[in-house]
């Protein structure tokens, strides 16, 4: 299935049914009084996160979603039937934005999360609501209100703890195959990966994390070179970036340090907050090096923009297990820091309220 990570749709909530002006008419009963019922409410449109859906392909061809209108009221105090709501199932990680206002309506980050996209109209009032001691035969009734309509931009940002970053053919897909059960395509030509892949890295029976592999970047991606940086949005939710570098390029004249610097330059052009994320350097394809220590030392003298570095071989698995343990430890430390910060913030708020 082709990976679809953005789409535009229109949603139309149903209109409310009209109230009715009606009077009781029965044999031998004079002046039965008003008995017009209210209109039913229109159906609303909701978005619901579903972890069993991975793409926005359902919204690629069907772009208009319309809820039914509420029924009008009837005589004999009969109220109109309200219309059913409709729920649009979307993958977890979908950001929904109103195209006209630019406002983010919802960010679906949890399975089963529900967000209102368009509210249905309210039903009109029948004339039974307008009777009084001075107005015993009211002929007033109100129409139903129209349902809300809007144009929406759907954008999928995959949920992962760790994101892979690097040039095409740096070995990102091979790495994710080595540490997880994911099986992305691997080949000896650039841009083998054409859409993001997710893999679950299970460190122990109870500890695991999710890693995301996106198509490779090249210099000039900000101007649309290669696949551009359209997939970098999928790294926005990650907590740690792994910058893979081919330390043993196949062709002479390729400078791995210069390529690594070019990747970070494109990352900075795209989003400063993404550039500021914790970033570890992975020197891949170490099994092809004749003088490993000298090559690594020379690279690290030229390229210094990283937090930690690891020398690995994704195809043989060398260093991958140790790296997985280090990543898990780092994520657990981040969780503890976030929980501590949250507890301190709660205590501070309680102290202010006293």
| Number of residues in the chain | 354
Do 200 and 141 belong together in one domain?
Answer: no
Q: What is the CATH number of the domain that holds 95?
A: 2.70.210.12
Residue 291 is encoded by which pair of tokens? 């003088």
Q: Is residue 110 included in any domain, yes or no?
A: yes
Q: Is residue 135 included in any domain, yes or no?
A: yes
CA distance 114 to 48: 4
Span 199-213, pLDDT tens digits: 778 888 878 888 888
CA distance 216 to 331: 24
Q: Is residue 350 included in any domain, yes or no?
A: no
- Look at residues 99, 127, 156 and tell me which one is the last residue of a structural domain: 156
Higher pLDDT, 31 or 261: 261
Higher pLDDT, 133 or 186: 133
Which position has the token pair 């409310």?
16
Helix (H) or strand (E) holding 343: helix 320-353
Do 137 and 27 belong together in one domain?
Answer: yes
Q: Is residue 347 included in any domain, yes or no?
A: no
Q: Is residue 236 included in any domain, yes or no?
A: yes
Q: Is residue 354 included in any domain, yes or no?
A: no
Q: Is residue 45 included in any domain, yes or no?
A: yes
Read off the pLDDT of each residue in 149-175 and give the average, rounded to a whole number: 84
Half-sphere exposure of 3 (CA within 13 A, CB side): 18
Output the average pLDDT for the chain.
Answer: 83
Does residue 277 register a pLDDT over 50? yes
Read off the pLDDT of each residue in 250-269 and give the average, rounded to a whole number: 82
Task: Tell me the pLDDT band of 71, cut-offs 50, 70 and 90.
Answer: very high
CA distance 286 to 292: 7
Range of the domain at 166: 162-340
- Look at residues 122, 156, 190 and tell me which one is the last residue of a structural domain: 156
Do 144 and 7 belong together in one domain?
Answer: yes
- Look at residues 156, 183, 202 and tell me which one is the last residue of a structural domain: 156
Query: Which among 221, 179, 217, 226 is positioned nearest to 198, based on CA atoms?
Result: 179
Task: Tell me the pLDDT band of 83, cut-offs 50, 70 and 90.
Answer: very high
Residue 249 is encoded by which pair of tokens? 């390029």
Q: How many domains does the chain have?
A: 2
| CB count in 10 Å sphere of residue 130 | 18
Q: What is the CATH number of the domain that holds 220?
A: 3.40.50.300
Helix (H) or strand (E) holding 274: helix 272-275
Do 92 and 129 belong together in one domain?
Answer: yes
Q: Is residue 349 included in any domain, yes or no?
A: no
């Amino acid at each position: 299935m082709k990976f679809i990570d953005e789409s535009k749709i229109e949603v139309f909530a149903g209109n409310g049914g009209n109230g009715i002006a009606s009077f009781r008419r029965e044999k031998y009963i004079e002046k039965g009084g008003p008995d017009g019922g209210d209109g039913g409410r229109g159906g609303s449109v909701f978005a619901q996160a579903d972890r069993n859906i991975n793409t926005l392909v359902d919204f690629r061809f069907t772009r208009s979603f319309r809820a039914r209108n509420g029924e009008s009221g009837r005589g004999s105090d009969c109220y109109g039937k309200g219309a059913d709501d409709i729920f649009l199932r979307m993958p977890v990680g979908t950001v929904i934005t109103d195209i006209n206002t630019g406002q983010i309506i919802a960010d679906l980050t949890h399975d089963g999360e529900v967000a209102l996209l368009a509210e249905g109209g309210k039903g009109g009032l029948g004339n039974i609501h307008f009777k009084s001691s001075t107005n015993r035969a009211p002929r007033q009734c109100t129409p139903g209100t129209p349902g809300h309509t809007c144009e929406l931009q759907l954008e999928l940002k995959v949920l992962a703890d760790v994101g892979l970053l690097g040039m095409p053919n740096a070995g990102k897909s091979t790495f994710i195959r080595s540490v997880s059960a994911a099986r992305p395509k691997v080949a000896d030509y650039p841009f083998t990966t054409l859409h993001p892949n997710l893999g679950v890295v299970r460190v122990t029976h109870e500890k695991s994390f999710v890693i995301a592999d996106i198509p490779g970047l090249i210099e000039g991606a900000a101007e649309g070179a290669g696949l551009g940086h359209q997939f970098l949005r999928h790294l926005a939710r990650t907590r740690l970036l792994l910058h893979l570098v081919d330390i043993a390029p196949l062709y002479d004249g390729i400078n791995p340090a210069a390529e690594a610097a070019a990747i970070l330059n494109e990352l900075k052009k795209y989003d400063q907050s993404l550039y500021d994320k914790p970033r570890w350097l992975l020197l891949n394809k170490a099994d092809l090096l004749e003088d490993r220590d000298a090559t690594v030392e020379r690279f690290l003298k030229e390229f210094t923009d990283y937090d930690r570095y690891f020398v690995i071989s994704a195809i043989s698995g060398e260093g991958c297990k140790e790296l997985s343990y280090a990543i898990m430890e780092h994520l657990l430390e981040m969780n503890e820091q976030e929980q501590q910060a949250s507890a301190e913030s709660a205590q501070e708020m309680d102290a202010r309220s006293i």
